[in-house]
Structure 1
Amino acid sequence: MTIRYGYGTNGLTDLRLDDALGLLADLGYDGVGLTLDHMHLDPLAPDLAARTARVASRLRELGLGVTVETGARYVLDPRRKHGPSLLDPDPEARAARTRLLVRAVGIAADLGAHAVHCFSGITPPDTSPDTAWQRLTGSLAPVLEAADRSGIPLAIEPEPGHLLADLADFHHLRVLSGDPPPLGLTLDLGHCQCLESAAPADCVREAAPWLRHIQIEDMRRGVHEHLPFGEGEIDFPPLLDALDNLSDTGYRGLTVVELPRHSHAGPELARTSIEFLRKHGPSGHGPASHVPSHRSPSQHTPSSR
């Protein structure tokens, strides 16, 4: 099985992190998309190093891969969702987001993560596109330097309603930044269904050289709402075939189920999601015949996250 499935902890926020990781291992997931947030691994905790070491040990114990995600809603500002962003008019506020991402790179290195995920943010009112792009490239420069030193790719995600909203915007950022080697792409396949002109499977093939992280869920055209599998409009068999063929391009990262508004049903959705993906995936990707020995069976809006 060449597709390595994970599940995002932003869809398991009612569980302790240790319990969430154990659940995913028991269900047969290959890894986890770990959102740095107060309820799991708090990037602002005074004992962050010790906490990170414990999580790294647990991941090794369970045989789980990891990608570090940075989309926590209120981790920096308890009053502004995703604030401050990399586009904030206040230079000090932008710097706070940059520092968080640099810290995330360090955490990722300590965890042995495949990549660090981020997104641009929404363009503030009365801000020209040129100014917004300048802020974005300037804010990301120290993060890319840290990523280069650590050997951990930075995977920026096109997010509906944000400055960097689609694949064309990602390539625009690459050009503006001088195409730095650490800069890669997080491809959310639901976002492809939502707003890209190409089908999600074609987006995978087009984006393959830059892919460092993948998120998956169901979605409808023009509506940015992350849906459980089977509740949207994505045609999954050809999409999963395209993902299966990514191994030929050298992609070794995770494909992480992204259901950030479904924590109330997280354990059940984690189970039904992996069953759906196995059922609809390429031939031979049916349900696992055994559980590894270390796992006991036990309308288009700015952002819906």
Structure 2
Amino acid sequence: MSDLRDRVQVNARFFHLAGGLLDRFLDEGLNPEIGLFAKDLDEYGPDQFREAEKALRDRGLRPTVHGPFVDLSPGSPDPLVLAATRRRFEQLVEAVEILRPRSVTCHLGFEHSRHGYFKEFWLEQSLTTWRWLARELRDRGARLMLENTFERAPEEMLPALNELSSLGVGLCLDVGHLNLFSAAKVAQWVEEAGPCLGQLHLHDNFGHRDDHLPIGQGRIDYPAVFRNLAYLPEPLTVTMEVGIEGAPLSFAALEQLWPW
């Protein structure tokens, strides 16, 4: 258990950490994946970020970060939407400068139902956004990870990942999202996108909604997931997106599955 605690992140919004939850992470020796969404970026600033970074560093803990994604569109053809997306990412970079995470996860954000009819344009437009962000994060010691959400198969992410590989951008494979939204199974994702894999997001569901249940409390066949992952080198980091309350059950399940 203690070894896994050193090697696994647990998600928490920054405003929850600032409201007192950080003390639990420190007491339990948990590395947080800090969610920096609109509320977190607008209501908190350098002083609070600096205080949290110091508290984690003093305990030998290092965060990862999950960047904003709701209603953002890095490949939008609308200049106003693109400017809003860019501004949120600028705020993200400012926070990363202080928090010093090892990696930053963002949603690629491609949805076939919305963007499929201008897919090539959307991809090229988004690459401009991601190249800028990847360089900014790399200069601050963090690696950009692009996460699957509504993408139906690895082929909808691989063009971007391949174009950005020279900047160290990797795939954050979200197993819960894969179970909900992907027509391709985990074996296909690992086979086709395995070389890009840099991070895992682990949580469970019953295939109907994005419940973010503790591992083993839904319908995802996690033994099969890890049988496929066992053939890969260890990812940069693994995040249990189950919140601190779901962490004990997830750690207990993960101890039986961890292949590395």
2:129 aligned partner, one-letter code: S
**Residues 1:19 and 1:62: Cα distance change in structure 2 (over 3 Å):** farther
Question: Counterparts of 1:239-278 in structure 2 under 5 Å?
Answer: 239-240=225-226, 249=233, 251-253=235-237, 255-259=238-242, 267-278=244-255
**1:162-202 Cα shifts (integer Å, max 9, x gaps):** xx554222211134x364323211111122333253336x7
Of structures 1 and 2, the one with the larger relative CO (CA 8 A, separation 6+) is 1
Q: Distance in 2 between matches of 1:250 and 1:273?
A: 19
* Residue 75 (structure 2) aligns with: 87
Instruction: Choose from 116, 121, 135 the match for 2:104.
Output: 116
Q: Distance in 2 between matches of 1:122 and 1:274?
A: 32
* Residue 171 (structure 2) aligns with: 185
Q: Is the counterpart of residue 132 in structure 1 residue 130 in structure 2?
A: no
Q: TM-score, normalised by structure 2?
A: 0.78
2:236 aligned partner, one-letter code: R
Q: Is the counterpart of residue 17 in structure 1 residue 1 in structure 2?
A: no
1:91 aligned partner, one-letter code: P
Instruction: Choose from 64, 69, 75 the match for 1:67.
Output: 64
Instruction: Choose from 174, 182, 203 the match for 2:161.
Output: 174
The answer (yes or no) to whether the contact 2:158–2:193 under 8 Å persists in 1 is no
**1:222-243 Cα shifts (integer Å, max 9, x gaps):** x452342333222223534665
**Residues 1:269 and 1:250: Cα distance change in structure 2 (over 3 Å):** closer
**Residues 1:206 and 1:22: Cα distance change in structure 2 (over 3 Å):** farther
**1:93-132 Cα shifts (integer Å, max 9, x gaps):** 2122123224423433432211111113355579622232
Q: Distance in 2 between matches of 1:131 and 1:165?
A: 19
Q: Distance in 1 between matches of 2:48 and 2:11?
A: 19
* Residue 85 (structure 2) aligns with: 97
Q: Is the counterpart of residue 33 in structure 1 residue 33 in structure 2?
A: yes
Q: What is the CA-CA distance between 1:217 and the residue it aligns to?
A: 0.5
Q: Distance in 1 between matches of 2:258 and 2:107?
A: 31
Q: Distance in 1 between matches of 2:116 and 2:156?
A: 20
**Residues 1:50 and 1:27: Cα distance change in structure 2 (over 3 Å):** closer
Q: Distance in 2 between matches of 1:171 and 1:134?
A: 13
* Residue 48 (structure 2) aligns with: 51
Consecutive unaligned residues of structure 2, counting only runs of 5 or more, are none
* Residue 145 (structure 1) aligns with: 135
RMSD of Structure 2 on Structure 1 (CA): 3.3
Q: Distance in 2 between matches of 1:275 and 1:191?
A: 22
Residue 113 of structure 1 aligns to a residue in which SS? coil
Residue 166 of structure 2 aligns to a residue in which SS? coil
Identity %: 21
**Residues 1:167 and 1:62: Cα distance change in structure 2 (over 3 Å):** farther
Q: Distance in 2 between matches of 1:84 and 1:38?
A: 11
Residue 33 of structure 1 aligns to a residue in which SS? strand
Q: TM-score, normalised by structure 1?
A: 0.68
Q: Is the counterpart of residue 7 in structure 1 residue 10 in structure 2?
A: yes
Consecutive unaligned residues of structure 1, counting only runs of 5 or more, are 73-81, 260-265, 286-305
1:21 aligned partner, one-letter code: L
Which of the pair is proportionally richer in helix?
Answer: 2
2:184 aligned partner, one-letter code: S
Q: Distance in 2 between matches of 1:236 and 1:196?
A: 17
Q: Distance in 2 between matches of 1:145 and 1:178?
A: 10
The answer (yes or no) to whether the contact 1:85–1:121 under 8 Å persists in 2 is yes
* Residue 158 (structure 1) aligns with: 148
The answer (yes or no) to whether the contact 1:147–1:182 under 8 Å persists in 2 is no
